[in-house]
Amino acid sequence: MQIETLEVYYDRKVQLDQFEPITFGATATVTLEDEDDTDEVYADVARDLQDTVERELARRVATKKREERDN
């Protein structure tokens, strides 16, 4: 069986404040070529998604802390 497309999802939930959780996630759909190693492509895409989600969460947490400090 040949896998033609691969969908990878990553999300993360953090607690910004009491009763204020935030979830951020991303999905990537990849079309595989005949010579692609499925496990390798999955690992690469998962790593990229994790980095993207973690950076965005860090930005949002920093913004929230800055807003709280300024108020």
Torsion angle (degrees, nearest 10) of CA 32, 8, 41, 49: 130
Per-residue model confidence (pLDDT) at position 68: 84
pLDDT for res 17? 79
Q: How far is CA 62 from CA 16, 29, 66, 71, in A?
A: 10, 29, 6, 14
CA within 13 Å, CB half, 18: 0
Q: Which pLDDT value is given to residue 55?
A: 95
Task: Count CA atoms closer than 13 A to 10's CA, side-chain side.
Answer: 17
Asked if residue 64 has pLDDT above 90, the reply is no
Q: Tell me the mean pLDDT in the region 23-36.
A: 95
Mean pLDDT of the chain: 92
